Structure 1
Amino acid sequence: MRTITLRRSLVALFVAAISFGATQAQAQAESDSVLRIGYQKYGTLVLLKAKGSLEKRLAEQGVEVKWTEFPGGPQLLEGLNVGSIDFGVTGETPPVFAQAAGADLLYVAYEPPAPTSEAILVAKDSPLKSVAELKGKKVALNKGSNVHYLLVRALEEAGLKYSDIQPIYLPPADARAAFERGSVDAWVIWDPFQAAAEQQLQARTLRNGEKLVDNHQFYLATRPYAQQHPQVISALIEEVRAVGEDSKADPDQVTEQVAPLLGLSKEITAIAVKRQGYGAQFLTPQVVAAQQKIADTFAALKLIPKKLSIQEVIWTPPAAAKVAKAQ
C-alpha cells in the first residue's frame, strides 16, 4: 500500500514539474512575442501609438505591441519595476528614484532638451513674484517626477533650501485641483498640464527650466527585455526618431493629431507641441554626466537613500557593442 502511495506521490510531483515547466515556457514565449509599452498622456510615444508604424514593423518579427497609459513618470517606472511593462518614457528624475529603489532598468535613449516645457506656476492673482518668495509656502508636485529636479535647482538659484518650502506630493490631476482651490501656493508641472493651466487658468510662470535644467525625456527598458531583445529595442528607437523628425517638420499636423487624444484645444496643444524636444538618440557621455549630477543632487538632499552610478545602467545598442568588442 505504501509503495502504491509513494508511486502516486512521485507521479504527482512529476506531473506538477512538467506543468510548471510548460507554464514557464509559455510565459517565456509570450514575453518573446509581446512588447509592452508604457506611455504618458503626452509625448512622442503618443504620436507613435497613433501612427501605428511600430506595430507594422514589429509584426514582421512576430512581435505584438501592447500599450498602457500612466499618469506620470514615477508610476510608469513602478510598472517597469514590477514587470507589467517592458519599455517606457519619463523625464529626468523618475529613473533616479527608481534606480535608488532597486529597479532593474536600463536607459536606452533620450530626447533633446526641452527646458520650457516644465515650470513653477502660481495663480494669476497670486502675490508671489519670485521663487525666493516661496519660502514657507506649499508647493505641489509629483514626487520623483522631472519637475522635482527643476524645483530643487530653482530654489538653489534663489538662495533657498528644499527644506525652506512645504512640498505637497500630488499627481497632476490632484495637484491641479489643489492649485485651483488655492490650497497650495504654487504648482510645479510639465506639459501638456502646464500649457493647459497657463491658458485655462491664466497661471503665471515663476520659473521654467531655461538655463537651469535640460529636461531630457528618457526612454527606458527593463534590463532583461533590453538584453534579450536588442533588435526590437533598436527598431523601436528608430521608429520614435522618425516620428520625432516628422513632428519637427510639421508641428501643425502633430497638433491636429494629438489634440483630440489629449482632450485639449488645438491652441493649448500647439503650445505644448512646440515646446517639446524631438529626435531620440542613444545616450552620450555628456547626457550620462548630466544625469549623474541629478542623481548626486538627490543623494545629497537625502531624497534617495544612496549614491548611484548612472553609467552602470546604460544600454549599449547592438552596433556599438560589436564595435567595442572588435576593439
Structure 2
Amino acid sequence: MTADIFNALVVRAAEDNAYLRQIEQRSIDDLPDGDVLIRVHYSSLNYKDALSAIGNRGVTRNFPHTPGIDAAGTVAQSRVRGFKEGDPVLVTGYDLGMNTSGGFGQYVRVPAEWVVPLPEGLTLKESMVYGTAGFTAGMGISFLTERVAPEAGPVLVTGATGGVGSVAVAVLAKLGYTVAAVTGKTAEWDFLQGIGASQIVDRADAADTSGRPLLKGQWAGAIDTVGGEILATTIKSTLPWGTVACCGNVASPELPLTVFPFILRGVRLIGIDSQNCPMDLRLQVWRNLAGPWKVAAIENLSRQISMDDLSDNIDVILKGQQKGRVVVRLG
C-alpha cells in the first residue's frame, strides 16, 4: 500500500436486495471533502453500524459505503488552526459512518466541528471502549446525576449487557449508586455483578402488561436503552421526582403510557440525542468519562477485534448477542 491507499470494510448492494461486505483497498482521494483527515487507529462496533452493513436505508442511503460511527486516531492533515498533524482526536456521531465514510476504514475525512481532542486521561483505545455507546451512557448519566442523588434510591439500567447499558452500570456504580440491571441473559449475571450491578432484574419481570397507569415506585431514576413496554413500565415504577433518560427503541418505538406518572409523581423523561449533541456538552461528557467517571480497568468492558473479524461480529450484534463493547483495531 502507498500512503494514499488504505484498507476499509466496504458494503456493496448486490442482487435480490442483498448486501455484501468485504475488506477492500480505497484511496484517500475517494473520501468526502472535509477540514481534517484522520488516520484511524481504533473504532468500535455499534448496532447502527450493523444496520448500515445490511443496507438499512434509514441509516445509510447510498452504497457502496464504509460504516463506523466511531473513530479515534491521529490527525494526518488539517486545514484549520485548531488541529495539527499528529494530534490525537476522536469523532463520534454526526453523520460519520451513516452517509459519510466511517471508522471501519483506516482514514476518515470530516468537518472540523465534528472533531474532539482526545481528553486527558484516555488513550485512543480507551476512548473507543466508550465510543458512541459510552458517550450516550455518559449523557444519560449527566442528566440523571443532576437530578438524582445516590441516596435517593436504586437506579435501573435496561438492556444492561449492551454497549450503552454496560457502561451505564459501571459508571453509576462507581459514582455510588445502587444499580439494578435488566437483562434476559441469565448467563451474563456474573458479568453484570462484576461491573457493579447490585441487583439483576429478569427482562420478563421488567415489562408490566396489566395496563395499570401507575405501579409501585421502586426506582429513583433509570437509563433505558430499549423503549417500548419496558420503558413504560420503568416510568410507571419511578419514585416521585425521579428522572428517566431514554435512548433506544430496539423493543419498540411505541410508548404505551398515560400522563399520570408525570402529573402525579413529577417524573421526568429526558431523551438522549448523542448524534447531534452540542459541542459544549459533548466536551463536558468526555471530560467526565476521562476523569471522575472513568471506570477502573475500563478495558474489561470490552474485547478487541481486527478488521477481518468485523463481518462475523456484525452478525453477532444483529442477533442481540453482543456483550459489553467491541473495539476494532484498524492497524
**Same-fold status (TM-score > 0.5):** no
TM-score (norm 2): 0.31
Q: Which is helix-richer, 1 or 2? A: 1
TM-score (norm 1): 0.31
Q: Which is strand-richer, 1 or 2? A: 2
**Which structure has the larger Rg?**
1
